[in-house]
């Protein structure tokens, strides 16, 4: 018996799945699902961004993952494979947030975590008793070693993902993680995370991406993890809450253990906007000082921000470009605030009659699909792209990467950011949001 796991590629503006020479970021879902599959099954992974879909596969089951707007591609692939007589299963964030819609196109949907549900689904399949939905909450996060080796030989980046935690204790209204996990947050034992990091290192990788939506939830955990990572002499990247600044010991431990850059979901420089998305535990007036402290600790700051919340005006969006430049953010990313179906923000916009576009393809973070408070959806989309153009102008790129006082401390890192920025600029010129690969 055989399963083909597919990570679909979102459609580009030419209505074709976006193709790349290299997929720098790979998610963990497919190698983990492969590891959760009993040994008597054969498994194959297809990353559509860099590989062609093998329509002539002899697989019995086609398992489709996908996040955000790539769900549109998943649905189309589901239809095609069902037409070819295959059993199609969908899972991952988007299918989990809209399971009834996903089920229309496939044989079964796995909602949320697959650790318990996936083996049960396969057993049901073998007994010819497949159920339409599978949903089993975890008591603890104890996944097997992901089958990373299935990614070797594919054109991916020079790092692999390793998961420390899943879910999130925070309640930001727009976030899919909050919507799916409702404040549940699982953290793996440090020894289990180290097992995966060692494995990744033994495969020849010197870098890894630590996946955890709230690595700071238990500071002693992070401290312990850093202490064990340090002797490996590896480089790692992760995302984190800006609150890390209040623990200088953690910042120091992270930097000394090889953490080169952290990505912070700052969301907005407008406090009113932060309040509107239930994130006013953050204080935007403190952002510059907090960022400086992190940079001074030797960790580079990358940011994720959204535009279009209720406090945002055209002016505040334009000012965001100055904020990014002044604070020398090495890799800044922006999205238009999007009411992802299932989230609290979606319900809020729906009840206020503020959703102006129901086509899921447009829920890609680059098109306004809700009516913002202080501008029209078209103006928001325009302000969003202007912000990207401004932040990724050559002058801004140079200032944020190589024309900085601390350049000589780590010139190679800053050169790397320069290359990443130029790569992003290339995409922005083609109106493709960077960071979707
Ligand atoms: C790494 C990552 C990326 C990487 C790699 C993506 C890739 N190609 O796989 C990059 C940076 C490229 C990326 C891009 C995007 N991402 Co992303 N990403 C993540 C991140 C940080 C980790 C994902 C991961 O590997 N998790 C670990 C695995 C083990 O967990 P998992 O994916 O949830 O999988 C489990 C279950 O969901 C389930 N499962 C998953 N797939 C399937 C499939 C089947 C068949 C089954 C049975 C089960 C199943 O099984 C797994 C084990 O339990 C998450 C945040 C998070 N908390 O997960 C965001 C996240 C998944 N991304 C998100 C988004 C929105 C995007 C973008 C659309 C951003 C944008 N607007 O442009 C793009 C789209 C990319 C694309 N090509 O489609 C959202 C998803 C929201 C949603 N409603 O779908 C998240 C949750 C971030 C957030 N907080 O909003 N992303």
Q: Retrieve residue 432's tokens.
A: 């493709």
Q: Domain spanning 169-429: which CATH class is it, in words?
A: alpha beta
pLDDT attached to residue 126: 97
What values do phi and psi take at 44, rounded to 5? -140, 145
Task: With beta carbons less than 8 A apart as the criterion, state whether 96 and 71 touch.
Answer: no
Closest residue by Cα to atom 30, ligand 1, is 29
Pick one of 3.40.50, 3.30.230, 2.60.40, 2.40.170 as the CATH number of 2-134: 3.40.50
Q: Retrieve residue 149's tokens.
A: 């080796």
Q: Which residue shows structure tokens 């793996």?
A: 188
Beta-ladder partners of 109: 90, 133
Residue 380's pLDDT band, with cuts at 50, 70 and 90, is very high
Closest residue by Cα to atom 2, ligand 1, is 27
Task: Evaluate if residue 109 carries a pLDDT over 60.
Answer: yes
Residue 169's pLDDT band, with cuts at 50, 70 and 90, is confident
Distance 338 CA to ligand 1 centre (A): 16
Pocket test for ligand 1, best of 26, 59, 68, 305 (most atoms within 8 A of CB): 68
Residue 402's pLDDT band, with cuts at 50, 70 and 90, is very high
Shortest-distance atom of ligand 1 to CA 18 = 77
- Give percent above pLDDT 90 in the chain: 86
Strand-strand pairing, 207-211 and 235-240: parallel
Q: Whole-prediction pTM value?
A: 0.94
Distance 227 CA to ligand 1 centre (A): 28
Q: Retrieve residue 330's tokens.
A: 């090495």
Task: Evaluate if residue 437 carries a pLDDT over 60.
Answer: no
Residue 430's pLDDT band, with cuts at 50, 70 and 90, is confident
pLDDT attached to residue 104: 97
CA distance 49 to 374: 37
Same fold, 2-134 and 169-429: no
Pocket test for ligand 1, best of 19, 66, 67 (most atoms within 8 A of CB): 67
pLDDT attached to residue 433: 81
**Angstrom distances, CA of residue 1 to CA of 59, 122, 126:** 7, 10, 10
Q: Average pLDDT in the 259-280 region? A: 94
Task: Evaluate if residue 213 carries a pLDDT over 90.
Answer: no
Q: Retrieve residue 125's tokens.
A: 């399949």
For 396-426, letters b (16+ CB in 10 Å) and e give: bbeebbeebeeeeeeeebbebbbebbeebbe
Mean pLDDT rounded to a whole number for the chain = 95
Q: Average pLDDT in the 355-380 region? A: 94
Closest residue by Cα to atom 9, ligand 1, is 27
Distance 367 CA to ligand 1 centre (A): 20
Distance 375 CA to ligand 1 centre (A): 30
pLDDT attached to residue 436: 54
Distance 388 CA to ligand 1 centre (A): 23
Q: Among the listed ranges 143-152, 223-232, 276-285, 320-329, which one has the minimum average pLDDT value?
A: 276-285
Shortest-distance atom of ligand 1 to CA 340 = 83
Pocket around ligand 1 at a 6 A CB cut-off: 7, 9-10, 25-29, 32-33, 63-70, 89-94, 97, 110, 113-115, 118, 161, 163, 175-177, 211, 213, 335, 340, 364-365, 433, 435-437
Q: Average pLDDT in the 211-235 region? A: 94
Distance 26 CA to ligand 1 centre (A): 9
Distance 50 CA to ligand 1 centre (A): 17
Helix ranges (DSSP H) in 137-247: 176-181, 190-202, 219-229
Closest residue by Cα to atom 48, ligand 1, is 91
> Where in the chain are the domains?
2-134, 169-429
Beta-ladder partners of 267: 305
Shortest-distance atom of ligand 1 to CA 121 = 47
pLDDT attached to residue 172: 84
Shortest-distance atom of ligand 1 to CA 118 = 47
Pocket test for ligand 1, best of 11, 22, 27 (most atoms within 8 A of CB): 27
Task: With beta carbons less than 8 A apart as the criterion, state whether 239 and 262 touch.
Answer: yes
Shortest-distance atom of ligand 1 to CA 213 = 57
Q: Average pLDDT in the 10-24 region? A: 89
Distance 27 CA to ligand 1 centre (A): 6
pLDDT tens for each residue of 305-316: 999 999 999 999
- Give percent above pLDDT 70 in the chain: 99
């Amino acid at each position: 018996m055989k399963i083909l796991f597919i990570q679909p590629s979102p459609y580009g503006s030419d209505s074709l799945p976006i193709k790349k020479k290299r997929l720098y970021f790979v998610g963990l879902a497919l190698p983990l699902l492969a590891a959760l599959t009993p040994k008597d099954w054969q498994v194959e992974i297809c990353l559509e961004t860099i590989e062609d879909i093998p329509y002539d596969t002899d697989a019995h089951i086609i398992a489709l993952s996908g996040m955000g707007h790539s769900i549109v591609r998943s649905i189309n692939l589901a239809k095609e494979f069902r037409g070819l007589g295959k059993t199609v299963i969908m899972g991952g964030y988007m299918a989990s947030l809209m399971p009834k819609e996903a089920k229309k196109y496939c044989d079964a949907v796995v909602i949320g975590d697959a650790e318990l549900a996936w083996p049960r689904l396969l057993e049901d399949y073998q007994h010819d008793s497949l159920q339409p939905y599978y949903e089993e909450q975890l008591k603890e996060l104890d996944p097997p070693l992901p089958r990373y080796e299935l990614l070797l030989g594919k054109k991916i980046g020079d790092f692999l993902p390793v998961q420390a935690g899943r879910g999130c204790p925070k309640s930001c209204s727009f976030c899919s993680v909050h919507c799916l996990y409702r404040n549940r947050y699982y953290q793996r034992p440090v020894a289990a995370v180290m097992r995966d990091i060692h494995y990744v290192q033994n495969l020849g990788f010197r870098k890894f991406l630590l996946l955890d939506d709230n690595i700071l939830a238990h500071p002693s955990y992070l401290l312990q993890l850093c202490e064990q990572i340090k002797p490996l002499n590896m480089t790692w990247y992760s995302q984190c809450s800006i609150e890390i600044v209040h623990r200088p010991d953690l910042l120091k431990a992270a930097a000394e253990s090889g953490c080169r850059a952290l990505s912070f979901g700052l969301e907005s420089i407008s406090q009113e906007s932060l309040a509107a998305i239930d994130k006013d535990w953050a204080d935007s007036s403190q952002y510059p000082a907090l960022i400086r402290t992190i940079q001074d600790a030797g960790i580079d700051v990358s940011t994720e921000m959204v535009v279009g919340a209720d406090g945002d005006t055209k002016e505040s969006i334009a000012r965001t470009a100055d904020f990014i430049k002044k604070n020398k953010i090495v890799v800044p990313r922006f999205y238009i605030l999007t009411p992802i179906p299932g989230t609290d923000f979606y319900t809020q916009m729906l009840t206020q009659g503020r959703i102006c576009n129901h086509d899921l393809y447009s829920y890609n973070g680059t098109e306004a699909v809700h009516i913002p408070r202080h501008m029209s959806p078209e103006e928001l989309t325009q302000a969003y792209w202007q912000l990207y153009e401004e932040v990724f102008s050559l002058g801004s790129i140079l200032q944020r990467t190589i024309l900085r006082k601390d350049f000589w401390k780590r010139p190679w890192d800053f050169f790397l950011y320069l290359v990443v920025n130029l790569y992003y600029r290339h995409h922005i010129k083609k109106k493709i949001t960077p960071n979707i690969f």
